[in-house]
Amino acid sequence: MSHTGEPAELAEAPDRDLAPLVAELREAVGDEWVYTQEHQLRTYESDGLLQYHSIPAAAVLPGSAEETQAVVRACAKADVPWVARGAGSGLSGGAVPIEKGVLIVMSRMKRVLDVDLANQRVCVEPGVTNLAVTGAVAPDYFYPPDPSSQIVCSIGGNIAENSGGAHCFKYGFTTNYVVGLELVLPDGELVQIGGKELEPPGYDILGAFVGSEGTLGVATKAWLRVMPAPESVKTLVAFFDTTREAGEVVSQIVQAGVVPGAIEMMDKLAIEAADAMSHAGWVGEDGPRGAALLVELDGAERECEARFDEVVKMCEDCGSDDVRVARDETERALFWKSRKSAFPAMGRLSPNYFVQDGVIPRTKLPEVLERMDELAEEYGMRVANVFHAGDGNLHPLVCYDGRVEGEAERAEELSGLILEACLDAGGSITGEHGVGLDKKKHMPKMFDEPDLATFQRLRCAFDPAGLANPDKVMPTPRLCGEVPGPYRQHPLEAAGLAERF
Amino acid sequence: MATQEVATERPGSPKEAADLLRGLAEAKRVVRPRGGATKLAWGGKGEPVSVELETGAMNRILEHNEGDLTAVLEAGVSLGEAQATFAEKGQMLALDPPLGSDDAATVGGLVATADSGPLRHRYGGVRDLVVGISIALSDGTLAKAGGKVIKNVAGYDLAKLFTGSYGTLGLIVGVNVRLHPLQTDTATAMASTEHPERLTTALATLGRLPLEAGCLDVAWQGHRGQALVRFAGAAAEHQAATTAGHMRDAGLDEVETVSDDAALWARQRDGQRSAAGAVLKVSGRTSDLGAAIGAARDADGALVGRAAQGLYWIAFEGAELTERVAHVRSALEPRACVLLDAPDELRTAIDPWGPVDPGALALMGRVKERFDPAGILRPGAFVGGI
């Protein structure tokens, strides 16, 4: 594998003859669904974060839970590490394959298995896209977690990453909508946790699994909660001279007890980039404004109307002389297109950029923005900012030119310092992109050794052999020892239900 | 049966709690964490408890970050006290379970038992509101997971793992929670009927509408049932009136809207507990409501529940509890019906948890072994004898 500027840090499975395993994989899923040629494997070398790449020994595309189980079981028997991959749109390197390991690609499993609107549940295979879940229940219902990549990203990937989106301040994250999972555990066991019902007895394995970044097993089926679509949706975008003014509006909205469906902020550079792509007319003759705030209220019509007027007034009171209310669905779609094109559009302003994903307590926004400005100036680099402002999730985009020697390293360094500013403010190193490979090194800044060791306990309960996505999340590789302490026969063991590992 | 003497330890800090636990593990003493002791008997009997680790001396509200709608609480903080503090700033922790005798329920105990009340409808359960956790394990480890911000995916979500773990994985010493604006200016639409199928249909319809209600509950007692839908905020009266219209359309009787509605909802909460009888919690579906009412009626039980979430509580008073509980369980099979409140002899007579999928159970057993390797935390009291 290689990585811009830094020494290789990806795990590599030990050298051994994988031919017997590959034969077994072919047996399990059929010849045509096992790739071993380099030109085939190149497709899967990265996820959405292109600077990390690696070629596995084989990529396998199972077509069913049983086939997935057979694949995982074969890997377990051969003691070969594996990585599960959804759509490959992740932004933390979480789906980067392990060299000489197996990549399990879930994209063939994309059936919607059950739509039960009476109970507001949908059961899908992991390869189903996020948008297709809403598609299966529209127009009366919707699936709230909506990552920007929702057209392509898969539910299996959303589960691994606990994906959020623009609407999670009001509606929550993937973890709040997964009510059941069928899992293949790293030892090849197939188990069902939960189902259509909430709060099944036992440990909240669902809560532990969602967001575990493929390190605890692979989901082969998911039961999801969907919601009645809101009666009314109202969207505005307001422009300000400074991000501070826009931030003040966010504070006022939250203080007033208004819970917008979405509340998104963009700074000058992000507005400029986005508008160049969406042509929404967000940049006037005098160039882009200092900040744009997109606020969307949804809910019961009368409540929505009343609250919306309040929000318009707050924007004006805080210094906006340009509040645009979406007049129809087309205009609303255009607002969102502008917001969502901020990332891809950045490519027009800068040859390369790093997308950062930090979280801060929302009230710390002004001081963290100030710190970012200082850092950007110190490094002589441009940093564009896009925020999920309601929940304090920042996406600074650090612009650089990869053709200039050393720029990528400096940009990454700057990006890391921005995260430290988030942590200093009491926040987190990732709000929705995950730790993956990219942020392993930052984990010790957020968590102390006993915390990391405690995380490892969970991992060992699921994967004592360390075969599931082993080089992700944790900053240093760890092995699972025997369960310490004197041997006590477990009640399950006595009942013949479980074996000791 | 002779009762064993139970010692009580009252650590004053998380560090002290962790050290105590390590010592108790070395001495092989069976430990039960204890908050306000309002749900102490919930779960299985398990091995006889030797020491109770009581959290009452860790009772500080460490942070209330109004602007960020978050709070950092020690485990022994009483939920009532925390709510009073948040309410001063127009905020709340959106959990309203029954608080038990003397309103003694603590935040730690609430997380450990994953209890909830009518606000569950809109805001989710404990798991959906806890954003970070601090825990002490039986080998003396003191660890944290999550954070203080509402959005965060760094590290494993151990806060969820510990939610509803009944003290069997470790001692919860602190929790970080997400807050919401306080529900003020409330109004409730309510209606009743003696026809279960009419009630079921009405609630199914209400659950499908984008009402954005704070609470949406059902109650059934004797020969009559009720639907209750609560709203808050500026448009509450209007929303309640509209909902009352839907209730009339559905053929329900005694339709009314009530703005002084606190007592109505206190009654719904109270229906989840029983001082002398027994309570079964049903993890079901919305579409199970008819069956749940039928089973409760046949067994002379009273039902309350979150109709659109499929969560129901059936309370039994009087004699022959074992038979009546067994009847409901078999009528609602394969739904999980967990016994919460119950007299000692009933808890001994039947498995309070009921059956759990063997594969899932084996995994849970491995989780237990990793977090409580000494096996001193309520051994045998959790599902499947974990």
Residue corresponding to tokens 């932004």: A91
Check if the beta carbon of residue B9 is closer than 8 Å to that of residue B52. Answer: yes
How far apart are the CA of B372 and the nearest CA of chain A, in angstroms? 10
Answer whether B285 sits within 8 Å of A432, measured CB to CB. no
Query: Domains, chain B, ranges and CATH?
Result: 1-182 (3.30.465.10), 187-349 (3.40.462)
A235-270 residue pLDDT tens: 999 999 999 999 999 999 988 888 999 999 999 999
Collapsed DSSP state (helix, strand, coil) of residue B250: coil
Taking contacts as CB-CB distances below 8 angstroms, the residues of chain B near A472 are: none
Answer whether A431 sits within 8 Å of B370, measured CB to CB. no
Q: Which of A164, A196, A255 sits opposite B151 (nearest CB)?
A: A164
Collapsed DSSP state (helix, strand, coil) of residue B282: strand
Q: Chain A, 106-125: which have a CB under 8 Å from a chain B CB?
A: 117-121
Taking contacts as CB-CB distances below 8 angstroms, the residues of chain A near B136 are: none
Residues of chain A with CATH 3.30.43.10: 19-105
pLDDT-derived band of residue A1, with 50, 70 and 90 as boundaries? very low
On whether any CB of chain A is under 8 Å from the CB of B360, the answer is: yes
Within 13 Å of residue A290, how many CA atoms lie on the same side as its CB? 12
Residues of chain A with CATH 3.40.462.10: 232-439
Answer whether B234 sits within 8 Å of A185, measured CB to CB. no
Whole-number Cα distances in Å, B266 to A352, B14, B120, B247: 58, 34, 14, 22
Nearest chain A alpha carbon to B169: A203
A and B: number of Cβ contacts within 8 A: 296
B220-243 residue pLDDT tens: 999 999 999 999 988 899 999 999
* CA Rg value for chain A: 23
Taking contacts as CB-CB distances below 8 angstroms, the residues of chain B near A484 are: 139, 373
Task: Just give the CATH number of A232-439.
Answer: 3.40.462.10
Indicate the pTM of the whole model. 0.95
How far apart are the CA of A403 and the nearest CA of chain B, in angstroms? 32
Taking contacts as CB-CB distances below 8 angstroms, the residues of chain A near B152 are: 359, 427-428, 430-431
A324-338 residue pLDDT tens: 999 999 999 999 999
ipTM over 0.95: yes
Nearest chain B alpha carbon to A435: B154
On whether any CB of chain B is under 8 Å from the CB of A36, the answer is: no
Which residue, among B95, B110, B152, B160, would best test binding to A if mutated, counting the most A CBs under 10 Å from its CB? B152
Q: How far is CA B195 from the centre of its chain?
A: 29
First-to-last CA distance in chain A? 33
Distance CA A178, CA A207 (A): 9
On whether any CB of chain A is under 8 Å from the CB of B181, the answer is: yes
Distance CA B33, CA B166 (A): 9
Check if the beta carbon of residue A164 is closer than 8 Å to that of residue A432. Answer: yes
What is the pLDDT, as a whole number, of residue A4? 42
Token readout for A449 is 């050794």
Residues of chain A with CATH 3.30.465.10: 112-228
Which class is domain A19-105?
alpha beta
Nearest chain B alpha carbon to A445: B154
Taking contacts as CB-CB distances below 8 angstroms, the residues of chain B near A432 are: 151, 153
Q: Which CATH number fits domain A112-228: 3.40.50.800, 3.30.300.30, 3.30.460.80, 3.30.465.10?
A: 3.30.465.10
pLDDT-derived band of residue B1, with 50, 70 and 90 as boundaries? very low
Nearest chain A alpha carbon to B234: A303
On whether any CB of chain B is under 8 Å from the CB of A419, the answer is: no
A170-198 residue pLDDT tens: 999 999 999 999 999 999 999 999 999 99
Answer whether A462 sits within 8 Å of B363, measured CB to CB. yes
Distance CA B255, CA B283 (A): 29
On whether any CB of chain B is under 8 Å from the CB of A27, the answer is: no
Distance CA B305, CA B219 (A): 7
Which residue, among B363, B377, B378, B386, would best test binding to A if mutated, counting the most A CBs under 10 Å from its CB? B363
Check if the beta carbon of residue A245 is closer than 8 Å to that of residue A291. Answer: yes
Please tell me whether the peptide bond between B334 and the residue prior to it is cis, using omega within 30 degrees of 0: yes
B247-295 residue pLDDT tens: 999 999 999 999 999 999 999 999 999 999 999 999 999 999 999 999 9
- β-pairing, A291-299 with A141-142? unpaired
Q: Chain B, 258-317: which have a CB under 8 Å from a chain A CB?
A: 281, 283-287, 308-311
Answer whether A208 sits within 8 Å of B158, measured CB to CB. yes
How far apart are the CA of A462 and the nearest CA of chain B, in angstroms? 7
Does the pLDDT at position B6 exceed 80? yes
Mean pLDDT of all residues in chain B?
96
Answer whether B234 sits within 8 Å of A303, measured CB to CB. yes
pLDDT-derived band of residue A310, with 50, 70 and 90 as boundaries? very high
